[in-house]
Protein backbone atom coordinates (compact mmCIF):
# COMPACT_ATOMS: atom_id res chain seq x y z
CA UNK A 1 0.00 0.00 0.00
CA UNK A 2 1.29 3.44 -0.94
CA UNK A 3 0.68 6.22 1.58
CA UNK A 4 1.36 9.92 1.12
CA UNK A 5 1.45 12.18 4.19
CA UNK A 6 0.89 15.85 3.45
CA UNK A 7 2.47 17.62 6.41
CA UNK A 8 5.01 14.89 7.08
CA UNK A 9 7.31 17.25 9.02
CA UNK A 10 4.75 18.28 11.62
CA UNK A 11 3.96 16.56 14.93
CA UNK A 12 1.25 14.18 13.70
CA UNK A 13 2.71 13.85 10.21
CA UNK A 14 6.12 12.83 11.55
CA UNK A 15 4.56 10.30 13.90
CA UNK A 16 2.39 8.76 11.16
CA UNK A 17 5.21 8.74 8.59
CA UNK A 18 7.60 7.00 10.99
CA UNK A 19 5.03 4.58 12.35
CA UNK A 20 3.60 3.53 8.98
CA UNK A 21 7.10 3.24 7.48
CA UNK A 22 8.15 0.93 10.32
CA UNK A 23 5.07 -1.19 9.58
CA UNK A 24 6.38 -1.76 6.07
CA UNK A 25 4.17 0.60 4.10
CA UNK A 26 5.59 2.66 1.28
CA UNK A 27 5.33 6.17 2.76
CA UNK A 28 6.19 9.41 0.99
CA UNK A 29 5.22 12.92 1.85
CA UNK A 30 5.78 16.62 1.76
CA UNK A 31 5.29 19.52 4.09
CA UNK A 32 3.61 22.88 3.73
CA UNK A 33 5.61 25.87 2.59
CA UNK A 34 4.43 29.29 3.68
CA UNK A 35 0.68 29.03 3.64
CA UNK A 36 0.38 26.52 0.78
CA UNK A 37 0.39 22.75 0.89
CA UNK A 38 3.16 21.51 -1.40
CA UNK A 39 3.61 18.12 -2.93
CA UNK A 40 3.84 16.05 -6.04
CA UNK A 41 0.22 15.96 -7.20
CA UNK A 42 0.69 12.83 -9.33
CA UNK A 43 2.24 11.00 -6.39
CA UNK A 44 -0.56 12.16 -4.09
CA UNK A 45 -3.24 11.14 -6.59
CA UNK A 46 -1.61 7.74 -7.20
CA UNK A 47 -1.25 6.88 -3.52
CA UNK A 48 -3.71 4.48 -1.94
CA UNK A 49 -4.13 6.82 1.03
CA UNK A 50 -3.43 10.55 1.24
CA UNK A 51 -3.24 11.67 4.88
CA UNK A 52 -3.82 15.39 5.44
CA UNK A 53 -1.67 16.12 8.50
CA UNK A 54 -1.73 19.88 8.03
CA UNK A 55 -3.49 22.73 9.87
CA UNK A 56 -7.25 22.69 9.32
CA UNK A 57 -7.35 25.77 7.12
CA UNK A 58 -4.72 24.18 4.85
CA UNK A 59 -6.56 20.86 4.84
CA UNK A 60 -9.82 22.58 3.90
CA UNK A 61 -8.12 24.52 1.07
CA UNK A 62 -6.53 21.31 -0.17
CA UNK A 63 -9.82 19.38 -0.12
CA UNK A 64 -11.60 22.19 -2.00
CA UNK A 65 -8.84 22.37 -4.64
CA UNK A 66 -8.60 18.58 -5.01
CA UNK A 67 -12.19 17.36 -4.77
CA UNK A 68 -11.44 14.84 -7.51
CA UNK A 69 -9.03 12.96 -5.21
CA UNK A 70 -10.72 9.88 -3.76
CA UNK A 71 -8.07 8.81 -1.28
CA UNK A 72 -8.04 11.57 1.38
CA UNK A 73 -8.01 11.05 5.14
CA UNK A 74 -7.99 14.18 7.30
CA UNK A 75 -6.91 13.99 10.91
CA UNK A 76 -7.96 17.36 12.32
CA UNK A 77 -9.96 17.75 15.49
CA UNK A 78 -12.79 19.89 14.06
CA UNK A 79 -15.06 17.81 11.84
CA UNK A 80 -17.87 20.27 11.08
CA UNK A 81 -15.89 22.16 8.43
CA UNK A 82 -15.44 18.93 6.44
CA UNK A 83 -19.05 17.76 6.67
CA UNK A 84 -19.92 18.95 3.15
CA UNK A 85 -17.10 16.73 1.80
CA UNK A 86 -18.25 13.66 3.74
CA UNK A 87 -18.71 11.59 0.60
CA UNK A 88 -15.15 12.39 -0.53
CA UNK A 89 -12.94 12.08 2.56
CA UNK A 90 -12.59 9.98 5.68
CA UNK A 91 -11.97 11.79 8.97
CA UNK A 92 -10.25 10.45 12.06
CA UNK A 93 -9.66 12.32 15.27
CA UNK A 94 -5.99 12.94 16.14
CA UNK A 95 -6.40 11.91 19.77
CA UNK A 96 -6.50 8.24 18.87
CA UNK A 97 -3.73 7.51 21.36
CA UNK A 98 -4.28 4.65 23.77
CA UNK A 99 -4.10 6.61 26.99
CA UNK A 100 -5.33 9.85 28.40
CA UNK A 101 -4.47 11.60 31.63
CA UNK A 102 -6.29 9.01 33.74
CA UNK A 103 -4.56 6.01 32.07
CA UNK A 104 -7.84 4.47 30.91
CA UNK A 105 -7.96 2.89 27.43
CA UNK A 106 -9.73 5.03 24.84
CA UNK A 107 -11.69 4.08 21.75
CA UNK A 108 -10.81 5.46 18.33
CA UNK A 109 -13.75 6.61 16.24
CA UNK A 110 -13.50 6.68 12.46
CA UNK A 111 -15.98 9.07 10.87
CA UNK A 112 -17.39 9.20 7.39
CA UNK A 113 -20.49 11.19 6.48
CA UNK A 114 -20.78 12.21 10.10
CA UNK A 115 -21.30 8.65 11.35
CA UNK A 116 -19.06 6.14 13.07
CA UNK A 117 -18.10 3.50 10.50
CA UNK A 118 -15.69 1.42 12.59
CA UNK A 119 -15.28 0.83 16.28
CA UNK A 120 -12.49 -0.99 18.13
CA UNK A 121 -12.45 -1.85 21.81
CA UNK A 122 -8.99 -0.37 22.39
CA UNK A 123 -6.03 0.57 20.23
CA UNK A 124 -3.95 -1.93 22.21
CA UNK A 125 -6.16 -4.77 20.98
CA UNK A 126 -5.99 -3.57 17.39
CA UNK A 127 -2.43 -2.33 17.19
CA UNK A 128 -0.24 -2.81 20.27
CA UNK A 129 2.75 -1.32 18.46
CA UNK A 130 0.82 1.90 17.80
CA UNK A 131 -0.12 2.18 21.47
CA UNK A 132 3.47 1.64 22.57
CA UNK A 133 4.85 4.05 19.95
CA UNK A 134 2.33 6.72 20.90
CA UNK A 135 3.25 6.45 24.57
CA UNK A 136 7.02 6.36 23.94
CA UNK A 137 7.03 9.41 21.68
CA UNK A 138 5.59 11.63 24.35
CA UNK A 139 2.11 12.22 23.03
CA UNK A 140 0.70 11.39 26.42
CA UNK A 141 2.47 14.42 27.89
CA UNK A 142 1.26 16.53 24.96
CA UNK A 143 -2.33 15.50 25.66
CA UNK A 144 -1.89 16.43 29.34
CA UNK A 145 -0.50 19.81 28.32
CA UNK A 146 -3.43 20.47 25.99
CA UNK A 147 -5.96 19.43 28.64
CA UNK A 148 -4.34 21.78 31.17
CA UNK A 149 -4.41 24.58 28.61
CA UNK A 150 -8.11 23.98 27.96
CA UNK A 151 -8.87 23.94 31.69
CA UNK A 152 -7.04 27.27 32.08
CA UNK A 153 -8.86 28.75 29.09
CA UNK A 154 -12.24 27.56 30.41
CA UNK A 155 -11.45 29.04 33.82
CA UNK A 156 -10.56 32.40 32.27
CA UNK A 157 -13.76 32.39 30.21
CA UNK A 158 -15.88 31.57 33.28
CA UNK A 159 -14.39 34.52 35.18
CA UNK A 160 -15.21 37.05 32.44
Question: 142: how many CB neighbours lie within 10 A of its CB?
Answer: 13
The tens-digit pLDDT sequence of the chain (160 residues) is 889 999 988 888 888 888 888 888 899 999 877 656 666 888 888 888 899 988 888 888 888 888 888 788 888 766 667 767 766 677 666 554 433 344 444 444 433 333 333 333 334 444 455 555 555 555 555 556 556 666 666 666 666 5
145 lies in which domain range? 2-158
Cα–Cα distances in Å, from 41 out to 61, 85, 141?
15, 20, 35
Instruction: Check which CATH number belongs to the domain holding 43 and give it.
Output: 3.40.50
Whether the model clears a pTM of 0.85, i.e. scores above it, the answer is: no
- Given this model, what pLDDT does residue 14 score? 86
Structural domain count of the chain = 1
Amino acid sequence: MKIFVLGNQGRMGTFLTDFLGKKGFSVNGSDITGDKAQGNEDEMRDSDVLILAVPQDEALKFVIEHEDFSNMVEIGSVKSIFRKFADKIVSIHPLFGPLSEDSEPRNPHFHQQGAIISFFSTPRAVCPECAREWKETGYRSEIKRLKALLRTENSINENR
